[in-house]
Structure 1
Amino acid sequence: MADALKELADWAQPLLHKLQPQQRRAAMREVAQYLQRSQVQRIASQRNPDGTPYAPRRPRAQLVAKSGAIRKQMFMGLRKLRNLPRRATADLASVGINPRVAYVARVHHLGLRDRVDRSDPTSPEVQYPRRELLGFTDTDLQAVEDILLQHLMDG
């Protein structure tokens, strides 16, 4: 995937420099907006960038709702747009994770060990399975190419 991303950057860079800075900024803004939506949808569908499903949650009593059904959606707070801020300039488009939720996202993204309740020192440590929260799919790369080509043809 990193190779495909590098190829896309190498392909797009000389073409984008033919555009005016405000046109490049508009293109990057559209790319960042697309990537932000794409990441939110992928996290909501609980899939890694390669298409594999997230490792399932382990059952816990606190996750059982009043009706007895387990709440299955992970990362509901992380999927909010304020927690996945986008940034666009004439030279870059990025989607990141808000620093307030970055610790939890990092633990899950990398599959690290952490306490279940960080405020309780007696809380057990758990090895969390790796769940890739941010990443590019092949569809994302194709969509970015399409967005950039559209801006090149318009500009």
Structure 2
Amino acid sequence: MAELHEVEEWLGALLSQLEPAMRTKMLREVARDVRRIQQNNITLQRSPDGTAWEPRRVTARTKPGRIRRKMFAKLKTAKYLKAQANANVAEVAFVPSVQKLVRVHHYGLRDRINRRGTEVKYAERPLLGFNNQAVDLIRKKILEYLAK
């Protein structure tokens, strides 16, 4: 943990040498690229660590071929998954209107299907997170901007 703190201090010192406009531009690109990685993970229906999500439950009402699209197909769009940045922070997050839904599925919590419906325990399906690909991408972008 101490090593991470040292790296953070070193990186902070290097980034402080960049002008605020350049930092904003760099962090905007990082956020956009990280969002693409997250969208790809959602498309492939896998966790950030690469493990596959638990498939949907099969019930008496659901028949093969009835579900026409994959889970969270709309959530991965730019309308719901936003990438934002300023001179100090890059952020990839879901819009507030869908955060409850995302939290329930991400952590595998209990929720009601509708207002008067039964409470259901959902499988844990991590939607956002870092993996080696995202960390490498961030490292490359930072080094690219520091080399300029």
TM-score when normalising by structure 1: 0.85
How big is the shift at 1:49? 1.3
More deviation, 49-58/70-79? 70-79
Identify the residue that residue 28 of structure 1 maps to in structure 2: 27
C-alpha contact 2:38 2:48 (8 A) present in aligned 1: no
- Alignment deviations for residues 101-133 of structure 1 (CA, whole Å, 9 cap, x no partner): 11110100111011122x3x1x12111011111
1:92 maps to a residue whose letter is V
Matched, 1:109 2:106: yes
User: Is 1:14 aligned to residue 13 of structure 2?
Assistant: yes
Mapped pair 1:145 → 2:132: no
Partner secondary structure for residue 24 of structure 1: helix
Cα deviation for residue 15 of structure 1 reads: 1.1
Q: Which amino acid aligns with 1:80?
A: T
User: For the aligned residues, what is the CA RMSD?
Assistant: 2.4
How far off its partner does 1:87 sit? 1.0
Judge conservation of contact 1:12–1:148 (CA < 8 Å) in 2: no
Deviation at 1:14, TM superposition (A): 1.5
Note the residue ranges of structure 2 that are not aligned, 5 or more in a row.
none
- Look up the match of 1:77: 74
Q: How many residues align?
A: 148
Residues 14-34 of structure 1: CA distance to partner in whole angstroms, max 9, x if unpaired?
Answer: 111111111111110110111
Q: Which residue of 1 aligns with 2:54?
A: 55
Q: For 2:139, give the aligned amino acid.
A: E
Change (3 A) 1:102 1:63: farther
Percent identical pairs in the alignment equals: 39
Q: Which amino acid aligns with 1:81?
A: A
Instruction: Determine the C-alpha separation between the residues in 2 that align with 1:3 and 1:75.
Output: 38
Q: Which runs of 5+ in 1 are unaligned?
A: none
Moved over 3 A (4+): 2-11, 60-65, 68-72
How far apart are 1:100 and its partner, in Å? 1.0
CA contact (8 A) 1:5 1:141 kept: no
The two structures have a TM-score, normalised by structure 2, of 0.89
